[in-house]
Amino acid sequence: MPRPDLIERLAAQTAERAQAQLLRRLRTITQTDGAFIESDGRRLLSFCSNDYLGLAQHPGPVAALKQAADASGVGSGSAHLICGHRREHAALEETLAEWTGRERALLFSTGYMANLGVVQALLERGELCVQDKLNHACLLDGAQLAGAALKRYPHADVEAASRQLQGQTEGCALLATDGVFSMDGDIAPLRELASLCASEGATLMVDDAHGLGVLGDDGAGSITEARLSERDVPVLMATLGKALGCSGAFVAGSAALIDGLIQFARTYIYTTAMPPALAAATHCAVNLARQESWRREKLQHLIQRFRRGASELGLPLMPSRTAIQPLLIGDSQRALEASRALEAKGLLVVAIRPPTVPQGQARLRITLSAAHEDAHVDQLLQALQSLRLAHAPV
Ligand code: PMP
């Protein structure tokens, strides 16, 4: 029997996905301008970006990036541990640690790599890794990379998590959860999870990709908002490509955690450090996110406005008070048609379908930003009203 050709098999899998109308489409954006983007020659009002504070095009980080690139070039030249760790990285790490109330912070090139690296460094083969079913894919992948015994509890079900921890009381255990769930927008029951971990001797890790910058009085995220400290949540991971409008990620915690990650996190060790100019731009974005609390207030105002309007229209809102405001449609084809109809009206709202979300839970993932205005939210509500989603079978 000849071996099957791998690329032919991949092509067949892609064709199958197309057949099921689940093909993911790549779109090239030719221009961005505040809440608007241009694609295929059309200007669209976007409700897709994770630029929650409207910092991605702010002149401050843009100038900081240019200035640092003029001074030190584009690439870092190597991994952090070789000769890629520049003063821009060190300064940003210091500020991130201080902002999140932790001893130290460590930069990673992406959030995906941070989660892979942390879980792999912390857990040994066969050790228990308990995770919320709706955690981001990279947290789940981290457990696979570590060869951990992965147990996934039903979304936000602390009792189920407790049973999973009690089912394997020998050895180390990590409980990892998103702070804000990326496709639902709700916030994890952090206080309950923290007390569960304390009583079971498990280590709690929170991925606050969608909470940092948005939640907490000073934008320090979901952990601060829940009045928890480093003692309750020893491992904090957050990304820099969302509310901060830049790119990359960091892990924050004790000196022991960070020193250990520098030694053992493979996705930290074996990869090129982020461009130092990007670290400088991010530093400027962090300062803006902390100082300009009006961005958080404006975002909250827009969230309230959207939820009030959507509720009056009977739209299938989900229980979220964050910038992620999905409308649950159910059927993939209906979600896709709704997204296309919105695009025809000049609005960009993506349909999220399985396997990114569970079967039968396709949705429109609407994200709001401080770059939006009241009139933009009203335009979205008007367009949604005309789609007659109110009685969508879920
Ligand atoms: N965690 C969560 C919860 C996310 O939503 C994302 C990105 N969508 C990541 C991690 C990965 O971050 P990055 O895009 O920086 O790789």
Whether the Cβ atoms of residue 106 and residue 250 lie closer than 8 Å to each other? yes
CATH code: domain 59-291 is 3.40.640.10
CB proximity list for 299: less than 8 A, separation 6 or greater: 52, 53, 214, 323, 368, 369, 370
Catalytic residue among 80, 85, 151, 242: 242
**Pairwise CA distance, residues 158 & 391, whole Å:** 32
Q: Look-up: residue for tokens 């015994």?
A: 149
- Rounded average pLDDT over 119-141: 97
Q: Which of 279, 289, 240, 243 is nearest to 92 (CA)?
A: 279
Token pair, residue 317, equals 């809102």
3-state secondary structure of 31: strand
pLDDT band at 287 (very low <50, low <70, confident <90, very high): very high
Beta strands in the chain (DSSP E): 29-33, 36-39, 42-46, 104-108, 128-132, 149-153, 173-178, 203-207, 235-239, 249-253, 327-330, 347-348, 350-352, 362-365
Active site residue 301: no
Which atom of ligand 1 is found nearest the CA of 50? 8
Report residue 161 as tokens: 């998590």
- Establish whether residue 239 lines the binding site of ligand 1, counting it when its CB lies within 6 angstroms of any ligand atom: yes
According to the model, what pLDDT value does residue 179 have?
98
Q: Which structure tokens are listed for 377?
A: 């939210």
Are 210 and 352 in contact by the 8 Å Cβ rule? The answer is: no
Of the candidate CATH numbers 3.90.1150.10, 3.40.1280.10, 3.40.50.10140, 3.30.1330.40, the domain formed by 28-53+293-387 belongs to 3.90.1150.10
> 349-394 pLDDT, tens per residue?
999 998 889 999 999 999 999 999 999 999 999 999 999 776 544 4
Amino acid 111: pLDDT: 98
Q: What is the arithmetic mean of pLDDT over 232-237?
A: 98
pLDDT at res. 22: 80
Domain boundaries, the chain: 28-53+293-387, 59-291
Q: Rounded to whole angstroms, how far apart are CA atoms 394 and 391?
A: 9
First to last CA, the chain: 47
Q: What is the DSSP string of 281-333?
A: HHHHHHHHHHH-HHHHHHHHHHHHHHHHHHHHTT--B-S--SSB--EEEESHH
Question: 106 alpha carbon to ligand 1 midpoint, in Å?
Answer: 16
Q: What is the DSSP letter of 84?
A: I
User: Does the annotation mark 66 as catalytic?
Assistant: no
Q: Ligand 1: does its nearest atom lie under 6 Å from the Cβ of 138?
A: yes
d(CA 275, CA 279): 7
Out of 173-182, 276-285, 385-394, which region has the weakest mean confidence (pLDDT)?
Answer: 385-394
**pLDDT tens digits, 318-355:** 999 999 999 999 999 999 999 999 999 999 999 999 88
Q: Report the mean per-residue pLDDT for the chain.
A: 95
Give the neighbor-by-neighbor strand order of the sheet with 149-153.
104-108, 249-253, 235-239, 203-207, 173-178, 128-132, 149-153
Protein residue whose Cα sits closest to atom 10 of ligand 1: 111
pLDDT at 125 over 70: yes
pLDDT tens for residues 147-166?
999 999 999 999 999 999 99
Dist CA 304 CA 344 (whole Å) = 26
Rounded to whole angstroms, the Cα distance separating 352 from 313 reads 22
Give me the interface pTM, i.e. the ipTM.
0.99
Angle of helix 137-146 relative to helix 111-122, nearest 10 degrees, comes to 30
Residue 111 annotated as part of some ligand binding site: yes
Convert the pLDDT of each residue in 56-86 to its tens digit. 999 999 999 999 999 989 999 999 999 999 9
Residue of 112, 134, 251 with the most ligand 1 atoms within 8 Å of its CB, for mutation: 112
**Is 283 noted as a catalytic residue in this protein?**
no
Report residue 78: phi and psi, to 5°: -170, -175
